[in-house]
Amino acid sequence: MSALKLRLPPNDGPVLSVVDMHTGGEPLRIVLSGAPVPEGKTVLEKRRWLRDNMDWARRMLMLEPRGHRDMYGALLVPSEEAEAHLGALFLHNDGYSTMCGHAIIALGRFALDYGLVEPQGPETAVNINCPCGLVRAHVAWSEGRSGRVRFHSVPAFTLCTDVTVDVPGYGEVIVDIAYGGAFYAFVSAERFGLDVCTSKTRDLVDAAAAVTDAVKAQVKISHPHSEDLAFLYGTILTDGKDGYSEEPTANICVFGDSQFQVDRSPTGSGVTARIALQYHKGLIQLEQTRTFKSATTSTLFTGKAVQETTCGEHKAVIVEVAGHAYYTGTASFVLESDDPLKDGFMLK
């Protein structure tokens, strides 16, 4: 039998071409072509326009039958920042995040490999404008191949510490809240009688989701620069090892508003926020590198505070996070107008 000639079937709807990658096991579906360019002067305005006018693209690529509950995506857009090489909007099963560290690591490689940025020597700068601000990535380049990526975050800070919230089913829980491009609540898994590395994922998710709902209901989140950034993105359960150590510390991030997702990676923006929190508490110093282990895949990111700064009235730090991303495939997805499931679905 002769080889089949691959082609797309006749179709009356949009066709979106993508490149799939993963960072520490966390997927990233990058839109290559087929999506309209969101309107807006800034990347943050484009995020709002995408949410209000083009949500079909998120549902098409993130949800079943083309995606799954824990799919994650990136749409590249023009940036208003003169220093930026590209802008990026981040998609997930329930909406649009303001920052995504695992996506930055993947997009750094992608930018070089797909010709968006010309490789320059052993390490190439790739500046990515995100809804939270400009993130500066540095991509290793050797013998024609991209490699490890490190990035410098937007100013990261601690919003509040030792906040008591009433969590239904668990009682009073003391949490810290910190920002690494998105806001996270932090609490040790031990508070729930759990271990981030050995307990059932379902139990960890239930505890983290309950904390997220409680914090959203009981704590006002504010950001000095934009109300669009002032929301709790998720909860990170930790192993409680917050002091400086050369041993890895593990955590699991559960994020999203209602359809909670589990990050397979150590979570780039979460590592950023956790470093800012540890620095705020005096548990680490500038340039002290900590290693963070994913509780689900045992993959590693490193993080360190590299510079003191401010964010509005908050004392803040610039955090460097590093990790590896890998390609998994390419695809073209079609949407037929008479498909009864064209809007996507998610099995609960």
Which residues are known to be catalytic? 100
Residue at 175: amino acid letter: V
- Asked whether the CA dihedral 109, 115, 119, 124 is positive or negative, the reply is negative
The pair of structure tokens assigned to 128 is 């990515």
Element at 52 (helix H, strand E):
helix 43-53
State the distance between the two ends of the chain, measured CA to CA, in whole angstroms.
Answer: 42
Distance separating alpha carbons of residues 64 and 50, to the nearest angstrom: 20
Helices (H), 173-328: 201-218, 268-280
Distance separating alpha carbons of residues 149 and 128, to the nearest angstrom: 13
The three-state secondary structure class of 46 is helix
- Do 325 and 111 touch, CB atoms closer than 8 A? no
Task: Name the phi and psi angles at 63, rounded to 5.
Answer: -90, 165
Distance separating alpha carbons of residues 49 and 39, to the nearest angstrom: 6
Q: Could you check whether the bond before residue 340 is cis, i.e. omega within 30 degrees of 0?
A: no
